[in-house]
Amino acid sequence: METVVSVDPWWHDRRVFVTGHTGFMGGWLCTYLMQKGAKVSGYARAPSTVPSFFDTVGLGDKLEQSTIAELRDLESLKSAMATAQPQVIFHLAAQPLVLSAFANPRETFETNVMGTVNVLEAARDLPDLSAMLMVTTDKVYQNNNWHWAYRENDPLGGKEPYSASKAASEFAIDAYRNSYFPELGIATLRVGNIIGGGDWAEYRLLPDAVRGFLNAQPLILRNPHSTRPWQHVLDPLPGYLALAERLAGDGPGFSGGWNLGPAQTDCRPVAELAHIFATEWGEGATVEIAESATVFEEKLLSLDSAKAQSELGWRPRWQLLQALKATAAWYKAQSQEQDMWAFTQAQIGEFDG
């Protein structure tokens, strides 16, 4: 195991179970938790991209336990949890891509809804569990393309398979919370459009940009005018940890939905973000607009995070420009074959500093 950089007394030696640890955000969360001193175990299918954050930083060798299995396999999940005996669970495993959901709606609903049900079902057997944090998405809200931000008490819904599956998972979480975990703290976390180094998923803006820029090709935009709440992958994580501590201390008082989105000034159109990133990348990087788009996506979406700011003392730390600078720096360091575990830890230190 690697040396812990910034141990937090509450998290020191705390047993944590993260689903989706082979993914982009799950990998960053595991790294962040380990820096705080937590003993982290992960459960997920194998990384879906080559390269991946998980493989690039060598995360599998640094965890207490890394189980590569399907979220839909309840018995494997129960076995992994029984071995880890977590005190805190973070559930991030999902089919996270809008376009993939269009292509494979059945698998998306099975993974996002029944996968979440499996996590909740497996957790019923854990004697030391004190908090569960279920990460969903900003897209769980019934989107009316309002010009004001969505709050936790706004209606949930979805007009396409991805958002509908994530909204449905929130209903399942609420049902289990009320039926089987009346005293346990269970929260759903809704974050913005996450960016940062190590994301190589297809059909995502910045990974597509990096693939193009590294090969001297332009980034092609399919929905340049869609507005999204952009935030660096590290930005919500202090809120995750603060909420976990509150849930462990007063579960019913902090259960329910929480927005951890960026500042309203960082809700920008896709084209604006793309041009800023191209400028930060340099080396002649360019952006072009596609002639047409064929997939439905909501045009306007932002989150109101006043609840987290008031009750958790959480605030976004990195504004968009700083987030894009850090993202470009991470990808460039990887392309230069630097030690990416050390580089990632250094970025966390910069973020926490």
pLDDT at 30 (0 to 100): 98
Contact between 52 and 64 under an 8 Å Cβ cutoff? The reply is: no
pLDDT at 155 (0 to 100): 94
SS3 163: helix
pLDDT at 3 (0 to 100): 39
Contacts of residue 1, defined as CB under 8 A and 6 or more positions apart, other chains included, come to 62
Going by CATH, does the domain composed of 15-199+230-262+301-319 fall within 3.40.50.720? Answer: yes
Q: H or E stretch including 66?
A: strand 65-68
**In whole angstroms, what is the distance from residue 88 CA to residue 232 CA?**
23
Whose structure tokens read 């009320």?
178
**In whole angstroms, what is the distance from residue 167 CA to residue 306 CA?**
21
DSSP characters for 208-271? HHHHHHHTT-PEEES-TT-EEEEEETTTTHHHHHHHHHHHHH-HHHH-EEEEE---GGGEEEHH
Burial class of 278 by CB neighbour count within 10 A (0 to 12, 13 to 18, 19+): buried
Contact between 305 and 260 under an 8 Å Cβ cutoff? The reply is: yes
DSSP category for residue 86: -
Contacts of residue 321, defined as CB under 8 A and 6 or more positions apart, other chains included, come to 276, 280
Q: What is the maximum span of the chain, computed from C-alpha positions, in angstroms?
A: 57
pTM of model > 0.85 = yes
Closest to 42 (Cα-Cα) out of 7, 92, 2: 92
pLDDT at 94 (0 to 100): 94
**In whole angstroms, what is the distance from residue 33 CA to residue 27 CA?**
10
Which pLDDT tens digits describe the chain residue by residue (353 residues)?
A: 343 467 899 999 999 999 999 999 999 999 999 999 999 999 999 999 999 999 999 999 999 999 999 999 999 999 999 999 999 999 999 998 888 899 999 999 999 999 999 999 999 999 999 999 999 999 999 988 777 889 999 999 999 999 999 999 999 999 999 999 989 999 999 999 999 999 999 889 999 999 999 999 999 998 888 888 999 999 999 999 999 999 999 999 999 999 999 998 999 999 999 999 999 999 999 999 987 655 545 567 789 999 999 999 999 999 999 999 999 999 999 999 999 999 999 999 999 98
**In whole angstroms, what is the distance from residue 243 CA to residue 90 CA?**
11
**In whole angstroms, what is the distance from residue 206 CA to residue 281 CA?**
11
Closest to 151 (Cα-Cα) out of 296, 310, 299, 272: 310
Q: What does the domain layout of the chain look like in residue ranges?
A: 15-199+230-262+301-319
SS3 106: helix
Q: H or E stretch including 39?
A: strand 39-44
Contact between 313 and 242 under an 8 Å Cβ cutoff? The reply is: yes
pLDDT at 2 (0 to 100): 41
